[in-house]
Amino acid sequence: MNKEYIITVFSENKVGLLGEITAVLTQRSINIESLTVSESALQGIHKFTIIVSTESEQIEKAAKQIEKIIDVLKAFVYTQDEVVQQEIALYKVTRSTNVEKLVRDHHVRILEIFDDYIILEKTGHKQDTQALFELLKPYGVQQFVRSGQVAIIKSKHELLDEYLESINKNI
Amino acid sequence: MNNQDNNNYFSGSKAVIESFLAEGVDTIFGYPGGTIMPVYDALYDYRDRVNHILVRHEQCAVHSAQGYARASGKTGVCIVTSGPGATNTVTGLADALLDSTPIVLISGQVASGALGTDAFQETNFIQITQAVTKWNCQVKRAADIPAAIAKAFYIAQSGRPGPVVVDITKDAQMELAEFHYEKVNFIRSYHPYPVLDKEKIAEAAKLINLSNRPLVLVGQGVVLGEAGEELKAFLEKSGIPAASTLLGLSALPTNHPQYVGMLGMHGNYAPNVKNKDCDLLIAIGMRFDDRVTGTPETFGKNAKIIHLDIDPSEINKIIYADVPVIGDVKESLPVLTELLAQKHHKDWIAEFKACYNIEYNAIIEPSIHPTSPQVRMGEVVSGVSKAYNDDAIMVTDVGQQQMVAARFFGYTRPRSIITSGGLGTMGFGLPAAIGAKLGCPEREVCLFVGDGGLQMSIQEFGTIFQSDIHVKVILLNNSFLGMVRQWQELFFDKRYSFTEMINPDFGLIAQANRIAYQCVEERADLEEAIKKMKAHKGAYLLEVRVEKEENVFPMVQAGASVEDVRLE
């Protein structure tokens, strides 16, 4: 049965690596629901957060194949209950009293106000940002973007630190 | 260009060749063209130190490098130009990746300023080869060339070996930079030799000591890890019978008393039919290819599985391992052997021998001593093997001759079979044989090839002539794409859809390439012809017209369990 998994991948900064990592998933017909990439807390090491929906057996194999890529340091797989996930959504909405009421009721942040539209920001789970979109829709949403999800693991340590320490010991 | 080099300032091209020398490269397979011309210009000054083989197609540059690597244990090296030169190598790279063969391929690329402009002979070779290499990179500055090549060699040959591409832009080849070469032996994100888990090894030893009906499955990992002696010590202490995958053949001599045959679709009867009776399977450096397991759900269904492999991603990929032992088998086997009780499994091995006798009467005897009017493939292979005292390097193409050759050739030492296992690349044989001969000049190289496969790379006769490569080519000509025809006969109502071949005169083709040739049609002439081929100094094409519709058995049908192996 399909289940949502969060794969975090730590890698060197190499041209083309994103393609190599996603190719492992496409070869197994695993669809990517969300993907974000940026430098991690460790300088020079990049972190990919990939949300996929697949079977448990598939995800373990895919993670091993990702880890096999030469420039990948480590790939970890988590289930939803092991992480705290968030994403940011931005909305460009036509100004109206209805919209202003929604903003107040849903604790939405206003980023900028223009003569005929406002830019709103909502942080939360995908269903929260989606729910706000549905509410705003009748009043004219001109643009709507989502950042994709980032995740922080609940366990005490960042596992990569332990891993890097173990490499340094073995040198 | 070389006139401009002074002191340690080399052109990028010269840096490529100097880097090769630092890695001990003595043989290169390649084909020049526009964007790689600076490297070829630099190579001109190194003709006395580097043997460059001018192939006739870039795919064959890689296959020759594969043959070279697998015969010698060294890394195979290729140089090609950008665009078509580069794309022609993709099949070779894919073959090398699936069969874990160390290859370093240098491809030319358009000048860095022209990248992404659809320039003449530009292809995005990094993107194209991502799926068929262990690692690749593009170099746009001369100063980065030595480090890229050092990393390439380290990655290609360490851990589980594989093909690596270094794509070098033309301007980087011409630019001058200080040359400084340092071999690579550490990459932060890459750990080719996993640390052994002693607890797992102890668990494995416990299972082995308790087992009554164990079987060892030998894979190419034993050959790549040069662990033949360690395997023998393991077997001789444990007394366990051993079967081999196609690529694991020759890791153990054919006449070893515990050797019970080849696994797989056209493997021997015993290791397939006895699979269900095993209570323990010990897989050593093999990856449970579907051609070995048949349907994986029933493979080893009554057995516990111990899986020794250097690549962690192979564990539980196809077959669940009760005890995984990750590591180089050269390291893990001796530790495991140490913990084993001295045992023998004479009665158990006798059961395999009984199955062998069934196969001998049903298949082997009629193949090697046939009474049928036409020559059969098995008698040719067996005759050649005997003539060379089971000591030649045997290269095959892909198809019926491959299976017959693997089954009926004898092996006395490792690295004696070179065949395209994982990818099953027709046309692999002839160029691989060229590479094998160059990798092991002191050994005899015998290629078995079909009429279909030979014509997929027949232009390499030109390479054989120009570079005077002494390979013996045994063409088993049945005027069919035999393996496909066999499947059509068995599974498609004998509808021989485009498998019959109207062939050219192979004797004339040999003659045109000044290669000695003989054709045998009668059994009575075979032995003498083989003798003549062996005695001939130089390349030789021995064409044997074999039975047109011979089928290869035993056979495990696709999707069937290995225990349902068919004898007819």
State whether residue B311 sits within 8 Å of chain A by CB: yes
State whether residue B316 sits within 8 Å of chain A by CB: yes
State whether residue B155 sits within 8 Å of chain A by CB: yes
* Number of inter-chain CB pairs under 8 A, A vs B: 45
What does pLDDT average to over chain B? 97
Instruction: Kindly list the residues from chain B whose CB atom is less than 8 angstroms away from the CB atom of residue A20.
Output: 130
pLDDT at residue B537 in the model = 97
Q: Answer whether residue B95 shows pLDDT above 50.
A: yes
Q: Answer whether residue B253 shows pLDDT above 90.
A: yes
Nearest CB to A70: which of B189, B195, B311?
A: B189
Query: Can the peptide bond before residue B554 be classed as cis, meaning omega within 30 degrees of 0?
Result: yes
**Cβ-defined contact of A72 to B127 (cutoff 8 Å):** no
Phi-psi region of B74 (alpha: psi -120 to 50; beta: other; left: phi over 0): beta
pLDDT at residue A37 in the model = 94
Examine domains A3-82 and A84-146 and report if their fold is the same.
yes
Q: Answer whether residue B5 shows pLDDT above 50.
A: no
Q: A20 to chain B, minimum CA–CA distance in Å?
A: 7
Q: A61 to chain B, minimum CA–CA distance in Å?
A: 6
pTM for this one?
0.95
CB-based contact B417:B443 (threshold 8 Å)? no
pLDDT at residue A1 in the model = 83
**Cβ-defined contact of A70 to B195 (cutoff 8 Å):** no
Tokens of B409: 């050739």
Those residues whose C-beta lies under 8 Å from the C-beta of residue B311, and which sit 6 or more positions away, are A68, B159, B160, B287
**Structure confidence at residue B72 as a pLDDT band (50, 70, 90):** very high
DSSP annotation string for B517-546: EEEE-SGGGHHHHHHHHHHSSS-EEEEEEB
Cα–Cα distance for residue pair B53/A162, rounded to 1 Å:
49
Which pLDDT tens digit goes with each residue over A47-57? 999 999 999 98
pLDDT at residue A43 in the model = 85
Instruction: Kindly list the residues from chain A whose CB atom is less than 8 angstroms away from the CB atom of residue B134.
Output: 70
Cα–Cα distance for residue pair B481/B496, rounded to 1 Å:
10
Percentage of chain B beyond pLDDT 90 is 98
Phi, psi for residue A76 in degrees, rounded to 5: -120, 145
Cα–Cα distance for residue pair A51/A36, rounded to 1 Å:
9
pLDDT average, residue stretch B534-553: 98
State whether residue B322 sits within 8 Å of chain A by CB: no
Q: A156 to chain B, minimum CA–CA distance in Å?
A: 23
pLDDT at residue B208 in the model = 98
Instruction: Kindly list the residues from chain A whose CB atom is less than 8 angstroms away from the CB atom of residue B312.
Output: 64, 67-68
Nearest CB to B188: which of A27, A60, A167?
A: A167
Measure the CA angle with vertex B417, ends B416 and B418; round to 5°. Answer: 125
State whether residue B138 sits within 8 Å of chain A by CB: yes
Nearest CB to B313: which of A14, A64, A170?
A: A64
CB-based contact B325:B195 (threshold 8 Å)? no
Residue B476: strand pairing partners: B450, B544
Q: Any idea which of A167-171, B193-197, B351-355, B536-540 has the lowest mean pLDDT?
A: A167-171
| C-alpha B335 chain-centroid distance | 28
Closest by Cα among B502, B418, B516, B504 to B461 = B516
Cα–Cα distance for residue pair B450/B92, rounded to 1 Å:
19
pLDDT average, residue stretch B451-474: 98
Domain A3-82 sits in CATH 3.30.70.260: yes
pLDDT at residue A169 in the model = 66
Q: A70 to chain B, minimum CA–CA distance in Å?
A: 5
**Cβ-defined contact of A72 to B189 (cutoff 8 Å):** yes
pLDDT at residue A49 in the model = 95
SS3 annotation, chain A: CCEEEEEEEEECCCCCHHHHHHHHHHHCCCCEEEEEEEECCCCCCEEEEEEEEECHHHHHHHHHHHHHCCCEEEEEEEEHHHEEEEEEEEEEEECCHHHHHHHHHCCCEEEEECCCEEEEEEEECHHHHHHHHHHHHHHCEEEEEECCCEEEECCCCCHHHHHHHHHHHHC
SS3 B430: helix
Measure the CA angle with vertex B259, ends B258 and B262; round to 5°. Answer: 155
Instruction: Kindly list the residues from chain A whose CB atom is less than 8 angstroms away from the CB atom of residue B126.
Output: 15-16
Instruction: Kindly list the residues from chain B whose CB atom is less than 8 angstroms away from the CB atom of residue A70.
Output: 134-135, 155, 187, 189-190
Q: Any idea which of A69-83, A156-170, B447-461 has the lowest mean pLDDT?
A: A156-170
Chain B, 184-243: which have a CB under 8 Å from a chain A CB?
Answer: 186-191, 195
**Cβ-defined contact of A19 to B127 (cutoff 8 Å):** yes
pLDDT average, residue stretch B438-448: 98
CB-based contact B80:B108 (threshold 8 Å)? yes
- Count Cβ neighbours within 10 Å for each residue of A30-44 and write b for 16 or more, e otherwise: beeebbebeebeeee
Q: Answer whether residue B464 shows pLDDT above 70.
A: yes
- Count Cβ neighbours within 10 Å for each residue of B245-276 and write b for 16 or more, e otherwise: bbbbbbbbbbebebbbbbbbbbbbbbbbbbbb
- Chain A residue with the nearest C-alpha to that of B135: A70
| Residue corresponding to tokens 């989502």 | A146
pLDDT average, residue stretch B292-320: 97
pLDDT at residue A170 in the model = 58
Which pLDDT tens digit goes with each residue over A21-40? 999 999 999 999 999 999 98
ipTM: 0.88
SS3 annotation, B148-200: HHHHHHHHHHCCCCCEEEEEEEHHHHHCEEECCCCCCCCECCECCCCCCCHHH
Cα–Cα distance for residue pair B480/B530, rounded to 1 Å:
23
pLDDT at residue A42 in the model = 85
DSSP state of B45: G
pLDDT at residue A165 in the model = 75
Q: B93 to chain A, minimum CA–CA distance in Å?
A: 16
pLDDT average, residue stretch B361-373: 95
> What H or E segment, with its residue span, contains residue B474?
strand B472-477
Q: B473 to chain A, minimum CA–CA distance in Å?
A: 38
CB-based contact B108:B85 (threshold 8 Å)? yes
- Chain B residue with the nearest C-alpha to that of A165: B188
Q: Answer whether residue A91 shows pLDDT above 80.
A: yes
pLDDT at residue B1 in the model = 45
**Structure confidence at residue A168 as a pLDDT band (50, 70, 90):** low
Residue B306: strand pairing partners: B282, B323
**Structure confidence at residue B3 as a pLDDT band (50, 70, 90):** very low
Instruction: Kindly list the residues from chain A whose CB atom is less than 8 angstroms away from the CB atom of residue B186.
Output: 171
Phi, psi for residue A118 in degrees, rounded to 5: -130, 155
A84-146: CATH, from 3.30.70.1150, 1.10.1060.10, 3.10.20.310, 3.40.50.300: 3.30.70.1150
- Which residue of B313, B316, B318, B319 is the best one to mutate when testing the A interface, meaning the one whose CB has the most A CBs within 10 A? B313
Q: Answer whether residue A121 shows pLDDT above 80.
A: yes
Tokens of A95: 């100004």
Which pLDDT tens digit goes with each residue over B103-120? 999 999 999 999 999 999
- Chain A residue with the nearest C-alpha to that of B127: A16
Phi-psi region of B121 (alpha: psi -120 to 50; beta: other; left: phi over 0): left
SS3 B449: strand
Q: Answer whether residue B290 shows pLDDT above 70.
A: yes
Question: Domain ranges in chain A?
Answer: 3-82, 84-146
Q: Answer whether residue B82 shows pLDDT above 80.
A: yes
Q: Answer whether residue B6 shows pLDDT above 60.
A: no
Residue B500: strand pairing partners: B480
Torsion of CA B388, B391, B396, B402, to 10 degrees: 90
**Structure confidence at residue B25 as a pLDDT band (50, 70, 90):** very high
Tokens of A104: 């107040």
**Cβ-defined contact of B138 to A12 (cutoff 8 Å):** no
Active site residues of B: 58, 120-121, 170, 483
- List the end-to-end C-alpha distance of chain B, in Å, as a whole number: 66
pLDDT at residue A161 in the model = 76
- Chain A residue with the nearest C-alpha to that of B189: A73
pLDDT average, residue stretch B148-168: 98
Q: A73 to chain B, minimum CA–CA distance in Å?
A: 4
